[in-house]
Chains A and B, each alone.
Chain A
Amino acid sequence: DAGITQSPRHKVTETGTPVTLRCHQTENHRYMYWYRQDPGHGLRLIHYSYGVKDTDKGEVSDGYSVSRSKTEDFLLTLESATSSQTSVYFCAISSGGSSYEQYFGPGTRLTVT
């Protein structure tokens, strides 16, 4: 299995509080992704990174920011959590180029009350 961990695995927080989710990889892969999974929507891309300090928006980026200061860590921040951000969040990694497979972390279940 690809070395991807996510922390925390579960979190309950209140509306309006900031939340940061961490994705850590040991594969030295260039590309990292944050997805959210919601019933009836499958997985949707929030943000992705194509290198240290290089990030871009996905299809559902509003209300989220990301940072990548090291190859191995990709942080997802909810500046002011809302109930609509209650979801399961997945991190994925890829070496990119012709190696197109993405490997997923175990997911983080976030509940915003």
Chain B
Amino acid sequence: AQTVTQSQPEMSVQEAETVTLSCTYDTSENNYYLFWYKQPPSRQMILVIRQEAYKQQNATENRFSVNFQKAAKSFSLKISDSQLGDTAMYFCAFMNYGGATNKLIFGTGTLLAVQP
């Protein structure tokens, strides 16, 4: 069974600085997707960034980038130039590629606070 681990329950960063959120996962599959979701106080789940395991290049979306280390089963999220609006709970998630149902497996989340 696949598992996703986020070892940092809470983190804090100053506005305009850079922060990295950690995520590790365990799977015996070779093809899969990894995601970072953001959940602000509004409770809405927002997809931040995704990575296909077969791609070696790390995904980037504006100020958000990942460091995907397939051999180490590590998938960290880097947020550059942190903004107050980045304050949220961040969830790492795994999806087995080729599965018929596209089920997501989530980590327990990291609560990020951006300080002014």
- Identify whether the interface residues of A are mostly helix, strand, loop, or mixed: strand
Interface string of A3-27 (1 = CB under 8 A from B): 0000000000000000000000000
Number of A-B residue pairs with CB-CB distance less than 8 Å in the complex they form: 50
Looking at chain B, what size class is its interface with the partner chain?
Answer: 20 to 34
Contacts of B95 in A (CB 8 A): 100
Digitize A96-112: 1 where CB-to-B-CB distance is under 8 Å, 0 elsewhere: 10001110101100000
In the complex, the answer to whether A42 meets B100 with C-beta atoms within 8 Å is no
Question: By the criterion CB–CB under 8 Å, are A107 and B103 in contact?
Answer: no
Q: Which residues of A contact B (CB under 8 A)?
A: 31, 33, 40-45, 48, 50, 56, 58, 88, 90, 92, 94, 96, 100-102, 104, 106-107
Starting from the known contacts A42-B4, A104-B44, 5 additional A-B residue pairs (CB-CB under 8 Å) come to: A31-B102, A43-B106, A50-B101, A56-B101, A90-B45
